[in-house]
Structure 1
């Protein structure tokens, strides 16, 4: 096989403020010579009509195929959300004149599953990025596992929750575009604690507020879209809204500490937060709630807490960590997307 053709079926498109694993894998594999198409969850008319997707967000998403970094991106439009929409991946690709046969399909969005995918490739890989204990995604996940040729999970917890598998499996945790986030500036950072990411049920607003109240001399910079912040947050919390991916390095280089205040949501147990290595690569120490995936490593500036009672002590230790956190930078350098893409490619094409 000289030029492998690979299709990613992903939960997120690449035209918003977030970059997810499938975006990075697609880019790295294309740079390595693969022919890569990235198709993401359709944007439905229902989402647009109810305001779940803003006009500004929609305007940033190209209609039809868009090539960037050697990857052909497709964001379909449907009347109803999947899986209720009558959506067919093969038909969507053919409509745009794109290939419908692939050496490998890597699927991380259960809602894009259909039996027709099995006929489009000899290597169907399921790449679960989250826990789906029940609901529609759980049902679809069971069907995918019955048809898949291999599984690549983003954490050992996610892999464990799939149960006994009859196909080859591998864990590849999320990585980092280290070159983008690393800086040569060695000046000690100001007392700024940053959070970048989603502000949904998995985010612990109460813990953020408690840290801010206990440390009025620290500025808390919170970047993320679609958040419903509680009232009366301490005045040293700045809600920045969505920050473009290209602007994240500048934001993080102005901070000393990266925050991962995970809530009690049980789905946090399997998360492999991409921000962990982005924080470290940018020279920040990190404080996070401990999970089966996220464990303390003070030597590289990673501090954890288990509940509210010990959260402030972990925050204080992380804030006192040497700045910039060069040990964290070195640790993140070993978690590049390029290295992980090579591992993924070897696993997938070796099936």
Structure 2
């Protein structure tokens, strides 16, 4: 798809502390010569008035399309009402930004961006669900997407199962890592006993597990980086909640640690997650300790240790701390999950879908 026009309709824009799969696919495809537009969930007046988007966060988001260093045109529309309540249709938002509306393929992962104009933007529409939507508005819109899409690329087996029976080709393509960015320095030495988490601190994050680990491993430092909720109780002194860390600074933070943490809560939607941080941790030379889910299984040979509940969580962290550091086996596994290889698979699937329609 080196000369193709490609539109991503994504749940997240690239101007904050996180990067999601659509950002990486867009980057790699643009670097390969495609004309890529990445349109994210609009920021509405309602979001601004209610404080769901702070002034600081809003100031970081440019008005109108902005082309990044890879050549991707990123667009975060400003609207009065949020999608899908009263925001303009996608075709209209593109037109207002001066972006032509004919594309070779549309890849949509944000159900809230689905409207009647999307199907007309391309002969090939691929739905790329990244989460479970068992009910609500997103579930209803997801059903409409499935009725109209030409193919499905799910980020986990659990997410694919959650869609039910499909009438179109489907592929499971888990998240990967920007290996070149996260790789540890060549002269990296064995690291101190430090554990790190980077990500959202919402109801999918288990603060109680962090507190319990910190009390059980008093000589280990725990660095918790990310925006969102506060811990439910005072934390031990060896826990440092540092707040959001800019994406460019995350690799340097990871290179100071020995273990990457994925302390997932009991939230039912965690079952469908394909955590990008798993491979970013590995690429950075960390071992990993994570709560086991359908998408995260233990691989002690790669430095991936899992637990199921409080009874085995301490033992899992102990094993991760004992793993050789830097984690060279994990680094090799992360190389196999690079975004370049993931994009190869995405392109192959899209070509097959397009050929099927011809």
- The residue that corresponds to 2:283 in the other structure is 281
Shift of 1:2: 6.4
TM-score by length of 1: 0.98
Structure 2 unpaired stretches of 5+: 354-358
Question: Which 4+ residue blocks in structure 1 deviate beyond 6 angstroms?
Answer: none
Q: Distance in 2 between matches of 1:11 and 1:185?
A: 38
Aligned residue pairs, count: 351
* Corresponding residue of 1:14: 14
2: CA distance between counterparts of 1:275 and 1:87?
34
How far apart, in 1, do the equivalents of 2:195 and 2:2 lie? 47
- What runs of 5+ residues in structure 1 fail to find an aligned partner? none
Cα drift, residue 116 of structure 1: 1.4
What RMSD in Å do the two structures reach over aligned CA positions? 0.9
Query: Is 2:174 the counterpart of 1:198?
Result: no
285 and 344 in structure 1: CA distance in 2 versus 1, 3 angstrom threshold: same
The aligned counterpart of 1:41 is 41
Q: Which residue of 2 aligns with 1:116?
A: 117
1:350 counterpart SS class:
helix
SS of the equivalent of 2:117 reads: helix
- Sort the Cα spacing of 1:331 and 1:2 in 2 relative to 1 into closer, same or farther, 3 A: closer
Cα separation, 1, equivalents of 2:325 and 2:310: 25
| Alignment of 1:257 onto 2:259 | yes
What SS is found at the alignment partner of 2:118?
helix
State the match for 1:157 in structure 2.
Answer: 158
Kindly provide the CA deviation profile for residues 57-116 of structure 1, in whole angstroms up to 9, marking residues without a partner as x. Answer: 111100000000110000001112211123211011111211101110000000000121
Contact 1:287–1:318 (8 Å) recurs in 2? yes
Are the aligned partners of 1:4 and 1:35 in contact in 2 as well (CA < 8 Å)?
Answer: yes
CA deviation profile, 1:165-187 (whole Å, cap 9, x unmatched): 01000011001010111121331
The 1-side partners of 2:347 and 2:93 are apart by 25
Please list the CA deviations of residues 188-233 of structure 1 after superposition, one character each: whole Å capped at 9, or x if unmatched. Answer: 0011100000000100010010000111111100000122222211
TM-score using structure 2 length: 0.97
What is residue 348 of structure 1 aligned with on the other side?
A: 350
Distance 1:133 1:98 in 2: 34
> Is the 8 Å Cα contact of residues 104 and 349 (structure 1) preserved in structure 2?
no
C-alpha separation between the residues in 2 aligned to 1:45 and 1:235? 40
Tell me if structure 1 keeps the 8 A contact 2:2–2:29. no
